[in-house]
Structure 1
Amino acid sequence: MRTYERFPLTDIESFSYFVVRDRGRAVAVLPVSLLRGLDPLRQLRARYPVTGEERGLLSHVWHCYDAWIPGASTPAHVAAVTGAMCDLARDLGAAWYGFVNVPAGSWLREALLAEGFPAHHIEDRYQVDLRGMTRVDDFIAGARPTGRKNYRRNGRRAADAGVRVRVAPPRDVDLAAVTALCAATSKRHGTGGYYPEELFTGFVTALGDAACVIEIHEEERLVGVAVSLRDRTRFHAWACGVHYDVGGNYSPYPLLYTTSVAQALAEGRDTLEGGRGNHVFKRRHGLTPLALDACLLPARPAR
């Protein structure tokens, strides 16, 4: 959170932090951010009457795809947080406030519905349950038949092309090249501004050992990258970029996933978080979708 404050990857005007206390003891917390342009991924304007350029007070940040209220365990905790968000949104002049990337079926989603928030599906994120797996072949075996064949065929072709794969800490890689490849790939999907080079390189560098970078090289050329994040139980395939005009008859993209699984297993993680989007590939290749909702309300005007 300190790193994102130093290097905000979207146009954030200010950060705030709520702490809910019960008889002086902290029982729940929530970071929120005031965005200039509340819809940088263009996922809200089809579900809400917004242009996307409005100012919005949102739970955490768009680069985090896992909304929750740490510590919250009762409806009273959620009511305290949403009431504080409403008041702060009004004081800051935000047009909307609420939560994005709320997991469908979660306790938080139900509590927000009870507080009067709507819930609109905006995207799916993808996961792999690694418990019970000991090697990458266990993961490949869980893919659909076409996905299994593609993983194995793609691996053979990449080996024939002399592809090299490396997992390294951010300090040991060319982060400018990594950022450029991530930005170029994101641009193909209409979100090219999602990885501003100076901020992105600063952010990944400052994360230190909380991040690692997977690189795929064809001879001396960087053809695939994944910036991955770690928490106590999960390995996050968070941002990636690939060249589509490689020399061999293979794709760097499946290699990024098999390498991510291998690294997650080596680190003893329970879950691989596979990020959002690219639905056809991920469903076919062994990742499980989890629907994400936006729960937003218009802010009351200041009196």
Structure 2
Amino acid sequence: MELEFVAAIDEVGAEAWNSAAGVDYPFTRYEFLYALEASGAVAKDKGWQPHHLILRRESQIVGVMPFYLKTHSYGEYVFDWSWADAYQRHGRPYYPKLLSSIPFTPATGPRLCLVDESDRGEVMAALAKALPVHAAEIGASSVHILFSRAEMANIWSQEGFMQRIGPQYHWYDRNYGDFEGFLAEFSSRKRKSLRKERRVVAEQGLSLQVLAGAEVSAEQWRFFFHCYQLTYAKRSGHGGYLPEAFFTQLAATMPVHLVMVLASHGDEPVAVALNFRDKHTLYGRYWGCIREYEFLHFEACYYQGIEYCLREGLRHFDPGAQGEHKIQRGFTPILTYSNHWLADADFSNAVQRFLDDEQLHVGQYLREASEMLPFKKAD
């Protein structure tokens, strides 16, 4: 098997890339990754230099894996700033590092994508040896694989890549049938609280509509991007990582994966949430508003998403990173996984000790957080 690294995804092309990556999970689709590059959201001067792995057998592509050479740790959601700081304090370079991740997207999913799944064990064993060699060749301090599925993360761990866990909060359909069926599983007090939130939204004169990607107008996309920029300006003092051209291109090339929740006050749009979807999962990604309304964020980002899943037969709702407030609204604390290999043996040993300690704390947190779920105790 031959390994090749390319500096732009268009060197591979949509048909060849998607033959390995598939077209269901949205974030490894050629169209998504290409839009990041074509819009300038990821580039060498942005600290996200594409360095995608292509696997060939007898000149045929049999696998792909998105990779980037990173010169910082922004936009990853698995925080290793303290590792970088430790390297710097000891006079050693942490950047560049070699990262397999979906930029700005903390959504669990495939990273190593293969045409033939029966090859996976052999390929992962080979990559576990080849990736550290390649990192040394290009002067990278380390290799990181973020937000893999649990079974893949465990294999990487068995192959010598340290494993890191973290918490997120996801919703799962337990055969609820509809939203009332979902609420029926809540304790009486929690059910009353959630119903109050939804009632207050309506009493403020707000209405919400859910639009499939192909139904969203150019004007609504402009409104979304304005809200997206406002959100980042409030949080971080900048206009966001993603340019308008990124979203415009996605609207044209993969609308089937896009779901927009638009909130209006009368005829005026006031807030918007953008989701992605595949056959089984809804992924909440971006939210913004031009005016604050009580409980509107919960309605647009959580309750409308749950109703959409129940209506469309999606079994899983990943609403994005962070947000402990999701638990009392029926989102279960779950583990996310990443894997890490560091060339420097001393730092690798120190990081392993850190991860062992962190794992104990995260495990304890998940046990305690699960006690905050709103469901009847018998469940």
Q: TM-score, normalised by structure 2?
A: 0.66
Aligned to 2:49: 13
Residue 64 of structure 2 contacts residue 113 of structure 2 at CA under 8 Å; is this kept in 1? yes
Letter in 1 for 2:258: A
Superposition map of 1:125-204 within 5 A: 125-143=168-186, 147-170=190-213, 171-172=216-217, 174-190=220-236, 194-204=240-250
* 1:132 positional shift: 0.9
Tell me the SS of whatever aligns to 2:254.
helix
Partner of 2:317: 272
Task: Give yes or no for the alignment of 1:79 onto 2:125.
Answer: yes
Question: Is contact 1:67–1:100 with CA below 8 Å preserved after alignment?
Answer: no
Q: Tell me, yes or no, if the aligned pair for 1:78 and 1:112 is still in contact at 8 Å.
A: yes
Instruction: Give the alignment of 1:29-48 within 5 angstroms.
Output: 29-41=64-76, 43-46=78-81, 48=83
Contact 2:281 2:318 in 1 (8 A): yes
CA 1:31–1:276 in 2, change beyond 3 Å: closer, same or farther?
A: same
Q: Give yes or no for the alignment of 1:2 onto 2:2.
A: no
Q: Could you give the per-residue CA deviations for residues 133-176 of structure 1, whole angstroms, max 9, x where no partner exists?
A: 22112233445666533321121122222211111244425223
CA-to-partner distance for each residue in 1:89-109, whole Å, 9 max, x for gaps? 334443321211235xx2222
Name whichever structure is richer in strand by fraction: 1
Are 2:344 and 1:297 aligned? no
Decide whether aligned partners of structure 1 residues 111 and 192 sit closer, same or farther in structure 2, where only a CA change above 3 A counts: farther
Change (3 A) 1:77 1:56: same
Residues 1:255 and 2:302 aligned together:
no
Q: Which one-letter code corresponds to 2:303 in the other structure?
A: T
Which structure has the larger Rg?
Answer: 2
Give the partner amino acid of 1:5: Y
Give deviations 1:100-138, integer Å, cap 9, x for gaps: 1235xx2222222222222233x4332211241221122
SS at match of 1:232: coil
CA distance in 2, matches of 1:147, 1:202: 40
Gaps of 5+ in 1: none
Name the aligned partner's letter for residue 44 of structure 1. Answer: F
My pick for the range that moved more, 251-260 or 176-185, is 176-185
Note if 1:288 corresponds to 2:316: no
Asked whether the 8 Å contact 1:179–1:200 carries over to 2, the reply is no
Q: Is the 8 A contact 1:117 1:295 kept in 2?
A: yes
Structure 2 equivalent of residue 56 of structure 1: 97
For 1:146 and 1:192, the matched residues in 2 are separated by 40
SS of the residue corresponding to residue 276 of structure 1 reads coil
TM-score in terms of structure 1 length: 0.80
Closer/same/farther in 2, CA of residues 7 and 113 from structure 1, 3 Å limit: closer
CA contact 1:236–1:274 (8 Å) conserved in 2: yes
> How many equivalent pairs are there?
292
Q: Closer, same or farther in 2 for the Cα pair 1:191/1:139, shift >3 Å?
A: farther
Unaligned runs of at least 5 residues, structure 2: 1-28, 345-379
The farther-off stretch of 64-73 and 164-173 is: 64-73
* Alignment match, 2:108: 66
Distance 1:94 1:67, change over 3 A: farther
Following TM superposition, by how much is the alpha carbon of 1:26 offset from its aligned partner in structure 2, in angstroms? Answer: 7.3
Is the partner of 1:44 in helix, strand or coil?
Answer: coil
